[in-house]
Chain A
Amino acid sequence: GQSLEQPSEVTAVEGAIVQINCTYQTSGFYGLSWYQQHDGGAPTFLSYNGLDGLEETGRFSSFLSRSDSYGYLLLQELQMKDSASYFCASRTGANNLFFGTGTRLTVIP
């Protein structure tokens, strides 16, 4: 089995930095991915961590610590358009993909 737990809601100010955490328990582990979903839209891929450490993609960074079964998504220079839901996701095998409970980020002026 597997579970991926995230905070349900986060609020942050435009221009600030926000961190969204994900703790996981899985029977097998093949890295952690992050997806963004705007209201009414489809989830879209943001990043992937297969190994421990930080991966940076523009304003977004993602971190993984496999020894702690923990990862996070870091969003810098927040913009209003970053208001969305963010999901961590993990594979327990080559062909599946399980998602966390999701974090709704609200960016305020």
Chain B
Amino acid sequence: DVKVTQSSRYLVKRTGEKVFLECVQDMDHENMFWYRQDPGLGLRLIYFSYDVKMKEKGDIPEGYSVSREKKERFSLILESASTNQTSMYLCASSLGVGMNTEAFFGQGTRLTVV
């Protein structure tokens, strides 16, 4: 079974802190994604990566950056956390070829910025 693991289920951080959310997948997937999920807004794509050191912006990259130094690991960084970044963050991965490529999700990190 594909496994996508996010480092924390719950996280509380202070405004202005630099926050790292870690995601690891064990299926050698090329693509990895970071989403945030807010009620009524669905899953909004923050960043995605299709290879090591390669990244592209999604719909809402402002205030975030990402790092992919190894194929299995994709990190989301909040440079200076703000209260409007309080949300559920979901990481996902998928194969990089073909259009019918199922995405597998981690269990999510609920981040609260106070």
**A residues lining the B interface (CB < 8 Å):** 4, 6, 8, 30-31, 33, 35, 41-45, 48, 50, 87, 89, 91, 94-102
Contacts and interface: CB of A to CB of B under 8 A. Distances in A.
Contact of A44 (B30, B56, B105): B105
B99 A42 contact: no
Contact of A45 (B30, B33, B41, B102): B102
B58 to A, nearest CB: 7
Interface stretch (B65-73, B76-84, B88-96): B88-96
B48 A42 contact: no
- Tell me whether chain A's interface is mostly helix, strand or loop, or mixed: loop
Given A31-B100, A43-B105, A45-B102, A97 B45 contact: yes
Contacts of B108: 42
B103 interface: yes
Size bracket of the B interface: 20 to 34
Contact of B42 (A31, A44, A50, A101): A101
B43 A95 contact: no
Closest 3 CB pairs of A and B: A95-B50, A42-B105, A99-B43
B53 to A, nearest CB: 14
B35 interface: yes
B48 to A, nearest CB: 5
A30 B45 contact: no
A43 B96 CA distance: 19
Which of B30, B58, B105 is most buried by chain A, counting CB atoms within 10 A of its CB?
B105
Interface in B16-71: 30-31, 33, 35, 40-45, 48, 50, 56, 58-59
